[in-house]
Amino acid sequence: MSGDCADKDVVISIRDLVFSRGARKIFDGVNLDIPRGKITAIMGPSGTGKTTLLKLIGGQLRPDRGTVRVDGQNVHKLRLGQLYALRKRMGMLFQTGALLTDLSVYENVAFPLREHTQLPESMIRTLVLMKLQAVGLRGARDLMPAQLSGGMARRVALARAIALDPTVIMYDEPFTGQDPISMGILVKLIHDLNEELGLTSIVVSHDVKETAGIADYIYLISEGQVIGQGVPEAIERSDSCWVRQFMQGLADGPVPFHYPAADYAADLLLEPA
């Protein structure tokens, strides 16, 4: 309907997004565009609402104001059936993994295939093993989620997220808890999926170096606003002190490390009520 939707190269467009949790405004007028077939990174300090943003895109939360369009469809105006049809084309890797604890690794990856396709068992097996091979966990197929380490669980969740070959995939902190080797493999995997399948990827991450290495475009959000955006080189050369502080991990600067609070000294001296 609006002008930017005509732009074919934008898969997800967010306009004037406002969202609050209780009295706290998490987003206050965010505008974002996610280009098709590219890797877009969303970065920002812990607790700024990156996970919340992904849930808004997936239609799990409703914004107070503003629109989220995926492929031109306003996510929050869709009926449930349409929303589910849209979600079949979107994969999401949850920050916590969100594996089904009563199913084995194999069955977890097979789950979306069993739910949404009528493929014969042999085909499902092939697909599941391929996805598990890609994340290096083919040998762990018979383990239960409780027997996995945090990093392994996340890789299984990644295998499951790509099981249906989605066109858009959202990774919430894919690198957390990975050792340098699996980190390198995951970075390459995300990159390759994007190249070979033409996926549109959204990567939420704190790992500045890895993310900047594969991202085509970076958004930095903080305190409810987009406070920096651009290709990685531009972000790195940015002269905004906020962006510099975040990208270089400096302690001093405009980015608050603390959750909003009263003055520290005054707080310590305060008599307990």
Partner 1 sequence: MNQVPPFGSLATMLGPLQRLGHAALKALQKLGRAHLFLVHVMSGLPDLFRRARLLLAQMYSVGVLTVLLIAISGLFVGMVLGLQGYNVLSDFGAEQTLGVMVAASLVRELGPVVTALLFSGRAGSALTAEIGLMKATEQLSGMEMMAVDPIKRIVAPRFFAGFLSMPLLAGLFSAVGVLGGYFVGVGLLGVDQGAYWSQMQAKIDFYDDAVNGFIKSVVFGAIVTWIAVFEGYDSVPTAEGVSRATTRSVVYSAFAVLGSDFVLTALMFGES
Query: Which residues are at the interface with Mg ion (CB under 5 A)?
Result: 51, 95
Task: Indicate the residue among 98 and 197 with the shorter CB distance to partner 1.
Answer: 98
User: Considering only residues 41, 43, 92, 202, which one is a binding residue for partner 1 as defined by CB under 8 A?
Assistant: 92
The residues, ordered by sequence, that sit 6+ positions from 239 with a Cβ below 8 Å of its Cβ are none
Report how far residue 73's alpha carbon sits from residue 85's, in angstroms, rounded to the nearest whole number: 12
In the complex, the smallest distance separating the C-beta of residue 103 from ligand ATP, rounded to whole angstroms, is: 25
Residue 46 found at the interface with ligand ATP (CB under 6 A)? yes
Out of Mg ion, ligand ATP, partner 1, none, what residue 84 binds, judged by CB under 5 to 8 A for its kind, is partner 1
Report how far residue 130's alpha carbon sits from residue 259's, in angstroms, rounded to the nearest whole number: 43
Report how far residue 31's alpha carbon sits from residue 161's, in angstroms, rounded to the nearest whole number: 26
10 Å Cβ neighbour count for 254?
14
Out of ligand ATP, partner 1, Mg ion, none, what residue 231 binds, judged by CB under 5 to 8 A for its kind, is none
Residue 50 found at the interface with ligand ATP (CB under 6 A)? yes
User: Considering only residues 21, 77, 88, 237, which one is a binding residue for ligand ATP as defined by CB under 6 A?
Assistant: 21
Q: Sketch the per residue contact string, 173 through 212, with partner 1: x for CB under 8 A, - otherwise.
A: ----------------------------------------
Burial 13-35 (b: 16+ CB within 10 A, else e): bbbebebeeeeeebbbebebbbb
Stretch that binds partner 1, among 88-96, 129-137, 218-226, 243-251 (CB under 8 A): 88-96
Residue 256 found at the interface with ligand ATP (CB under 6 A)? no
> Which tokens is 100 given?
């089904």
Cβ atoms 211, 203 nearer than 8 A: yes
> Which tokens is 14 given?
């967010």
Q: Sketch the per residue contact string, 75 through 104, with ligand ATP: x for CB under 6 A, - otherwise.
A: --------------------x---------
Out of Mg ion, partner 1, ligand ATP, none, what residue 48 binds, judged by CB under 5 to 8 A for its kind, is ligand ATP
Report how far residue 146's alpha carbon sits from residue 150's, in angstroms, rounded to the nearest whole number: 10
Q: What is the CA radius of gyration of the chain?
A: 20
Report how far residue 241's alpha carbon sits from residue 57's, in angstroms, rounded to the nearest whole number: 29
In the complex, the smallest distance separating the C-beta of residue 164 from partner 1, rounded to whole angstroms, is: 8
CA distances to 11, 17, 72 from 3, in Å: 14, 17, 11
Out of partner 1, ligand ATP, Mg ion, none, what residue 26 binds, judged by CB under 5 to 8 A for its kind, is ligand ATP
Size of the site for ligand ATP (CB under 6 A): 10
Size of the site for partner 1 (CB under 8 A): 23
Report how far residue 216's alpha carbon sits from residue 203's, in angstroms, rounded to the nearest whole number: 11
> Which tokens is 9 given?
């190269």
The residues of the shown chain that bind partner 1, judged by CB under 8 A, are 55, 58, 60, 80, 84-85, 87-88, 90, 92, 94, 96, 98-101, 111-112, 115-116, 157, 160, 164
